Structure formats: C-alpha cells, structure tokens
Amino acid sequence: MQAVQKYNAIMTGNEAVAFGAKLARVGFISAYPITPQTTIVEKLAEMVANREISAHYVEVESEHSAMAAVFASELVGVRSYTATSSHGLLYMHEMLHWTAGQRLPVVMSVVNRALGPPWNIWTEQTDSMNQKETGWLQVYCESNQEALDSILMGYKIAESPDVLLPLMSMEDAFILSHTSEPVILPDQDQVDSFLPPLNLSFRVDLKNPMGYGSYSTPDGPYMELRKDMMDSLRNSRKVISKVTKEFGETFGRNYSGLIEKFMMEDAEYAIIASGTLASTGKYVVSKLRQEGKKVGLIRVRFFRPFPDLEIAEAVTDLKGVGVIDRSTSYGSAGPTALEVRSALYGKSEIPVAAFIAGLGGRDVKVEDFEKMFQYVEQGKTGNFYINVKEAC
C-alpha cells in the first residue's frame, strides 16, 4: 500500500541521513568527525546512547580506520555505516578500493566539501569525484528527503546479489547538511518490509572457513575479478531502476532511476547538473519557459554507474546542451562534462558546453544559469569557468 505523503519532521540533511541509517537498522557505526559531516555521527551517537538504535558505535582515530572498521564488520555479515567529508574521504582512499574489491555493500554518506589548500569548509564535489574509479556506486542528492531515502535505497541496491558493491550518497555541505527542510520519516514497519536484513553469502563463518583478499599472480583471478566488478556496476543500472520503482510504490516518492528530466518533453536546449545545483537550474528553466524559451534540465542522480545511455536518449532532439560541474579535473573539463562528451561520441553531433562553477561554495546564481543557457543557445562547445573574479 502506498504511503500518504505527509511531512512529519523538520530536520537538517545530516539529521536526515542519520535517521536513514537508523531506519535501515544498521548494526555497526564507525565514527570520526570532520566538518561538515560531524553532526551525522553525533546524532547517531545520541541514538545509540538513548537505545533508539541497536548498533555497536566505535570511535576510531582516523578516517582510514573508520573505513577499515566497517570493512571488518560488514565482512562478518553486519550491515554497517559511516560518514565523512573532504580530506577525510581522501584519507579513506586505499580502503575504498579494498571495500569495493572485497564486494562489501557498505553505504557511506559523504558531505561534499572543498579541498585545501587554502582551507575551505564549503561545498564542492571534487572530493567524491576523486573517488569515481574506486568501484563505489555514487548518488548525488538534491534535498534532505532524498538524502534520507537514498540511504534506504542505497542498502537495497548495494546488497543485491547482482551488485554487491559499496555505495556513497552525497549531500552538498551546508546547503543540505546544515539547512533544515520538511522531511517525511518513513514508518519502520514499511522500511523493514522494503529492506530485509543483510544476508551476506560469503561472510566470515568459522564453520565454513575461506580466504579473503588472497594474493594473486598475473595469471591468477585478479583481472577476472576486476571485470566482474565492472559487470556488476553495469548490472546495477537495472537494479537501481527496479529499486527506485519499488521505493516509489511503497513510499510514494519516485526518484526516476539514474537521471531526472525536468521540462524536457519539447526542450531545444538543456543544462545537465547534479546535487543542489539542479534546484537553482530548475527555477531558471521555469523562468525562461515563461519567456517563451524551450529549455530543460537533466539531473544526474547516479554518477556511478554513469547514465550514458539515458543521457544520450534524453538529448537526442536537442540543439545544444551544457554541463555544469561543481568540481575540477585539472588539465581537462569537469568530470561530468567529460562523461557526457564520451557518452555522445559517435552518437550525436550536438554541441556540448562544459561549465565549472560554485567551487569552494561560491554561489551559483540565477544570472549564472541564464548566462550558461545563453552559451548553449549560441552553440558554444568550449570549457568555461563561471563567475570567476578578474584578479585574486
């Protein structure tokens, strides 16, 4: 039975994902603080202390240890959770590869924050984009509600036998993490029906011993295991579509799979964006529509697996498209723009303009989006920085 849509809480994005972990009945939480993620693990610590959640809560000495801890707990079959941000995520980098390579369906929240130097605690997606080759699924949230719901969907997707890979769910620092919005808290019984307990077939079992992370020579299974990870990431596309559809039927909120299309039915030009940038973009699209311009927006929800087929189909009839990144790929265009250009290569000659904006938390304003749409309408195909000061 579909749930009635009724907001029953006002909370920050960080509180929302903490409630998501609670509703998912995680059994192990590893915590190390870093701004602006800290209030997630603080809220979970409060829940554990008040016995609102039955989980082991372990404070560790570093982000590397935080991921090592959930690696171990997940390997013994316990649904596990942690959260981090910025330099903490970079410090985890080695263990991200281990967790994916061991096929452990951990879910982690990442509060996107800029990297130093200079020190900056505001939002930017370069930290998580730097992890795109680790084998983790990546979902970028637009609202506090989506941040909560993505934890629940994330575990079901990651734990699917056709996937068995970890997933990181992103929220923009302060724009979501510390801003309060109305949120629907799902009923626990409905969540339990939607998300069954973890049943990891290869968990550590003293009665059925096996090797983990064993040594492999060049002629060993190393390359085949890496190909299997790639195949599983591709398989996750179908799982994501199935899980988001089931989530919509159960809870009444439809997240439309890997991408979201906004006013794209008769659009001639479009911007591709992710995270909270899409919210401003949608406002500008609505504004330009009132002026008679046929524009639309495509929101990339999942960056891994990248929705190349969905984007190629969505832009088929367009005259031009722009891609906005809140991250950098030094010496090239933004990461999303690179993926979009690759997805369209050999399939479409549509001009693609690549924009980098909002680094270090700089505001991306209505007039900035209007400027980007002007570039797209003019058929520009270069790489552009938006709202950069003449001199620093």
- Look at residue 193 and tell me whether its pLDDT is greater than 50: yes
Distance CA 73, CA 255 (A): 30
Angle at alpha carbon of residue 308, lines to 82 and 271, rounded to 5°? 90
**Would you call the peptide bond into 307 cis, given omega within 30 degrees of 0 as the criterion?**
no
**Beta strand ranges found along the chain (DSSP E):** 9-12, 28-31, 56-59, 80-84, 107-112, 137-140, 167-172, 180-183, 259-262, 269-273, 295-300, 302-304, 320-325, 352-356, 383-385
Q: How long is the chain? A: 392
Phi, psi values for residue 28, rounded to 5°: -145, 130
- Distant-in-sequence, close-in-space partners of 325: CB < 8 Å, separation ≥ 6: 125, 333, 334, 335, 336, 337, 354, 355, 356, 357
Q: Write out the CATH class of domain 259-385.
A: alpha beta
Segment among 51-65, 203-217, 369-383 with least mean pLDDT: 203-217
Q: Fold for 9-251, please state it.
A: Rossmann fold (3.40.50)
* Residues of each domain in the chain carrying CATH 3.40.50.970: 9-251
* Residues of each domain in the chain carrying CATH 3.40.50.920: 259-385
Q: How confident is the model at residue 1 (pLDDT cuts 50, 70, 90)?
A: very low
* pLDDT (tens digit per residue) in 283-330: 999 999 999 999 999 999 999 999 999 999 999 999 999 999 999 999
pLDDT of amino acid 374:
98
- Look at residue 6 and tell me whether its pLDDT is greater than 70: no
- What mean pLDDT do residues 111-139 have? 98
- What mean pLDDT do residues 355-384 have? 97
Residue matched to tokens 């973890």: 198
pTM: 0.96
Nearest to 77 by CA among 148, 26, 21: 26
